[in-house]
């Protein structure tokens, strides 16, 4: 509801193994095989095309759910490369409370409440590939602060 218009997430191929959810993911998301460089490149190209058509994309910069005691795991580079290449802003968002409801190693989900916290948009206009690590760091710090403020 926070992001107007259409949205398309990036999903790891492992999600396709989950009954029913896998079918939904296949029809609603861009699927990536993270172990394949070719699949990663194709998914990046597809996401850039989707953005050029006016659809927002949802990327999980950690690459998976955080199962550590740290607020965030290190971010992958792809989201920041796409943001700079397309000059599209980043809207930092964190999901709090989902971990206990979706235990690792099982398809069972527990009922409960999660909270989505949205940060301030981070512009990318004028940024170049040389700015990618700084953009990644800025986004990481923004999202980390959202989590710490919530706690």
Burial of 85 (0-12, 13-18, 19+ CB in 10 A): middle
Question: 0.95 exceeded by the pTM?
Answer: no
Structural tokens at position 58: 């949802």
Ranges 56-60, 93-97, 128-132, most confident = 128-132
Tokens of 14: 């492992």
Mean pLDDT calculated for residue range 83-107:
87
Q: Is the pLDDT of residue 106 over 80?
A: no
User: What secondary structure letter does DSSP report for 100?
Assistant: G
């Amino acid at each position: 509801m926070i992001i107007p218009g259409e949205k398309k997430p990036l999903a790891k191929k492992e999600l396709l193994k989950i009954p029913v959810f896998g079918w939904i993911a296949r029809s609603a998301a861009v699927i990536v095989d993270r172990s394949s460089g070719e699949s990663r490149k194709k998914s990046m190209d597809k996401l850039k095309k989707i953005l050029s058509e006016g659809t927002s994309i949802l990327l999980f910069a950690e690459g998976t759910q955080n199962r550590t005691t740290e607020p965030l795991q290190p971010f992958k580079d792809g989201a920041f490369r796409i943001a700079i290449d397309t000059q599209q802003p980043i809207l930092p968002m964190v999901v709090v409370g989902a971990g206990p409801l979706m235990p690792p190693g099982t398809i069972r989900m527990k009922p409960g409440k999660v909270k989505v916290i949205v940060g301030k948009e981070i512009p990318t206009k004028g940024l170049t590939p040389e700015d990618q690590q700084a953009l990644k760091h800025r986004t990481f710090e923004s999202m980390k602060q959202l989590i710490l403020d919530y706690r």
